[in-house]
Amino acid sequence: MTTNARSKGRSAARLAAVQALYQHAMESTPLARLLDEFHRHRLGAEIEGDQYVQAEVDFFDGIVEGVIARYEEIDALLAAKLSDTWTLERLDRTMLQILRAGAWELLARADVPTATVISEYVDVAHAFFEKREAKFANAVLDSVAKDVR
């Protein structure tokens, strides 16, 4: 696999992982069923006329499994980065999943450069939000990175 194809596959995996984590948070979909659904129906699929890039499946699985396994640790880390007037419960549910996935990758994937992790999740934030929210994701993940790397 070329470096560019791997990069695109990982970018697709990150976006899909945020979507899977959102589904898990909203519907409490069991992990095995969630992964199976994404493997068979979403990763690299054509949905409503849009062809999705084939995600790096093992990378996707690692993010989803890792975040779910470490919810408490990740949420405590994120909560410490929010101002006194904000709680995790006040965050938009999609933003929370972006931050969780980014924080997990910063914690667990030392092989991925810090700048890459932050940049990739800021890109994911841009897929769902305006510039202001993407800057928020950048600031929180940068602060997490300073603590864990």
pTM: 0.92
Residue 3 has pLDDT above 70, yes or no: no
Query: In this structure, what are the phi and psi dihedrals at residue 137, rounded to the nearest 5 degrees?
Result: -60, -45
CA distance 39 to 33: 10
CATH of the domain at 136: 1.10.940.10
| Spatial contact of 98 and 18, defined as CB atoms under 8 Å apart | yes
Cβ count within 10 A of residue 87: 10
The label of the residue with tokens 């199976």 reads 36
Give the pLDDT score at 41: 82
Residue-wise pLDDT for 39-56, tens only, equals: 888 787 655 665 566 789
The number of domains in the chain is: 1
Residue-wise pLDDT for 104-129, tens only, equals: 999 999 999 999 999 999 999 999 99
CA distance 65 to 111: 18
Give the pLDDT score at 48: 61
Residue 10 DSSP label? H
- Domain of residue 140: give its range: 3-148
Find the largest Cα–Cα distance for the chain. Answer: 46
